[in-house]
Structure 1
Amino acid sequence: MIKRLLFVVFFILILLGSSLWLDYATFRDEPVMLPEPSMIFEIPRGTSLRTVARRLSEEGILKHPYYFIALAYERGEQSRIKAGEFELVAGMTPADVLARITSGQVVQYGVTLVEGWTFRQALAAIEEQPRFVGSLVDRSDADLMAELGHPGEHPEGRLFPDTYVFPRQTPRFQVLRRAFERMEQVLAEEWAGRQDDLPIKTPYEALILASIIEKETGAPHERAEIAGVFVRRLRQGMRLQTDPTVIYGMGDRYEGRIRRADLREATPYNTYVISGLPPTPIALPGRAAIHAALNPEDGTTLYFVSRGDGTHVFSETLAEHNRAVRRYILGQE
């Protein structure tokens, strides 16, 4: 009688164990229940596996929190829960959720710095990303450059235009540092591949020229040709006479129009008055503009004028240039 009872108990335990295992296997492989196609699940720093499982259950994502804990132990992930924001999407299984929150694959938030922007425009864009922390715009340029390890240097043009992504709560200064270091890297790479015998003697001079090229044209195929014009002018001792430097020197006084008096005004950036390059960059140049500044196109042109469609007419002589000005600027055929 006792043997029979033990057999029955043993058989029941086997059935219960098999049923429990099948239930666990079904839980592990079935999609979780999300309230919407995708959602953000945030895990604060120091959160335990048990707390994560309980929260997932309370939010209706998982039916069995203890199965989730068992899954983590089965896979050796019980102590690898990461902090941050994680995106959960429809179709994910509990195994997928576990893999996501133990991989450190947190949600990233981006900020884009655009070619041709000024340093302060770039700071404003970083400031406007609400997921980052700490302020930049209320600090002086001098303080920011000192914290970047370059005290006394001008910040203009020193950030590389690109899209940068970081997790929530990233200090905004960290974004600034990444853009600064990226520009230093790109500039060093392009400087190493520069043409010989350029009238550009330092990487910083290349950055200045590249910023002018960036502001002069948005047409990719023109950058090297415009760089060639400027390099030939520098070699011949001609003034660059480029409007973007005048505009930069005018600062907040610029209202969309350059007058004759503005072209005669003696500012450090007025290349109609000064010889050579202005003292600093005037904008954020991209890699293409930096490459053009250090690899200008050969030729004999010394002048160019806008057609009004984003491209330019290039001329070898002043007479040709004046004809182009009459046609495209003054509207005289």
Structure 2
Amino acid sequence: MVVVIPQGASIAKAGDILEEAGATSASSFVNHARFFGGSDPIKPGEYEIEKGMDAGDILALLQSGRTLQRFVTIPEGMPSILVWERLMAEERLKGEVPVPAEGSVLPNTYAFTTGETRAAVLKRMQAAMDKAFDELWEKRSKRAVVKDRNEVMTLASIVEKETAISSERRTVAGVYTNRLKVGMKLQADPTIIYPLTKGKPLGRRIRRSEIQAVNDYNTYAMAGLPKGPIANPGKASIAAVLDPAPTDYLFFVARGDGGHVFSRTLAEHNANVEKWYALRRERGEM
């Protein structure tokens, strides 16, 4: 069975919780703690009581702090509004949190215990991003054009959204690095969608008016980076923009399987677009 010992619970309160759950009698637990428990306090959290454990075994477990671990997973490229929704939907957590700043959360799987605050879990997620950024920033290459954390997270979030193939990340980062160096527009579709949905799926094709819309994010309407990240990038995408592939590619087009075909000139790119769009139409993907 599983019992939850709240923060600040006394031995007597823990005994009542254990008796109500059917794990042991309150008096047995309290008496064992009084005569044999030593000076170690019981620790709050969620505990799994195994069949056959007596009052002494249970006391030792509660004093050890070996709590039952629960997990929440933040996938790479998840926007902050969805991170917030995932935390708020976890019924074992308590308390309110604001929507975190975009790009402040490191995608990963995080352990928590029942009754812990959402604020504490979010703080661990953001501390993990701080640590990851600091470590990767120290290893940045001379090819990187990003100058500060906001630029790193912004470009890394675009790379994260543009490719699902891990082996492509540095190449995609290389393309965007080359474009930034020569003043070309990035023309990244996810930057059109972000101001419309805050990163949630659009659920339809992008409209011509949206491609032409002028705002702080749309990289079809302006040169340079958006004003901020459009998602929470993973470590691999951050590393990619800090050490982009040494390539002269300036263009890429989706193959329809998550990967891309890269090219150096507009003529090559247009030929690739024609070829791969034709194949995708044949497959019924367009």
CA contact (8 A) 1:190 1:294 kept: yes
Amino acid at match of 2:42: I
Instruction: Call closer, same or farther: CA 1:46–1:184 in 2, change over 3 Å.
Output: closer
Match of 2:80 among 119, 133, 139: 119
Q: How many residues align?
A: 279
**Identity among equivalent pairs (%):** 39
Q: Report the secondary structure of 1:125's partner residue.
A: helix
User: Could you state the TM-score of these two structures normalised by the residue count of structure 2?
Assistant: 0.85
- Equivalent positions of 1:13-32 (< 5 A) are none
Amino acid at match of 1:201: K
Counterpart CA distance in 2 for 1:60 and 1:156 is: 46
CA contact (8 A) 1:81 1:101 kept: yes
- After TM superposition, give the deviation of residue 175 of structure 1 in Å: 2.1
Counterpart CA distance in 2 for 1:259 and 1:240 is: 18
Amino acid at match of 2:188: T
- After TM superposition, give the deviation of residue 301 of structure 1 in Å: 1.2
Alignment gaps of 5+ in structure 2: none
CA contact (8 A) 1:215 1:244 kept: yes
CA contact (8 A) 2:156 2:233 kept: yes
Q: Kindly indicate whether structure 1 or structure 2 has the higher relative contact order, using CA contacts under 8 Å at least 6 residues apart.
A: 2
Q: Report the secondary structure of 1:89's partner residue.
A: coil
| CA shift digits 1:190-225 (9 cap, x unpaired) | 111110252211122111000000000111111011
Instruction: Call closer, same or farther: CA 1:298–1:45 in 2, change over 3 Å.
Output: closer
Match of 1:104 among 65, 69, 72: 65
RMSD across aligned positions (CA): 2.8
CA contact (8 A) 1:56 1:65 kept: no
- Equivalent positions of 1:185-204 (< 5 A) are 185-204=131-150
CA contact (8 A) 2:37 2:59 kept: no
Match of 1:324 among 268, 272, 278: 272
CA contact (8 A) 1:246 1:269 kept: yes
Q: Does 1:161 align with 2:122?
A: no
Counterpart CA distance in 1 for 2:70 and 2:196 is: 35
User: Could you state the TM-score of these two structures normalised by the residue count of structure 1?
Assistant: 0.74
Match of 2:162 among 216, 219, 242: 216
Counterpart CA distance in 2 for 1:58 and 1:325 is: 67
Match of 2:244 among 276, 283, 296: 296
Alignment gaps of 5+ in structure 1: 1-38, 145-154
Match of 1:258 among 199, 206, 214: 206
Amino acid at match of 1:103: S
Q: Which residue of 1 aligns with 2:231?
A: 283
Instruction: Call closer, same or farther: CA 1:254–1:193 in 2, change over 3 Å.
Output: same
- After TM superposition, give the deviation of residue 158 of structure 1 in Å: 1.6
Q: Which residue of 2 aligns with 1:9?
A: none
Q: Report the secondary structure of 2:2's partner residue.
A: strand
| CA shift digits 1:94-142 (9 cap, x unpaired) | 5542321101222333222222221111111000011111223xx5x5x
Instruction: Call closer, same or farther: CA 1:73–1:310 in 2, change over 3 Å.
Output: same
CA contact (8 A) 1:188 1:203 kept: no
Instruction: Call closer, same or farther: CA 1:183–1:52 in 2, change over 3 Å.
Output: closer
Larger radius of gyration: 1
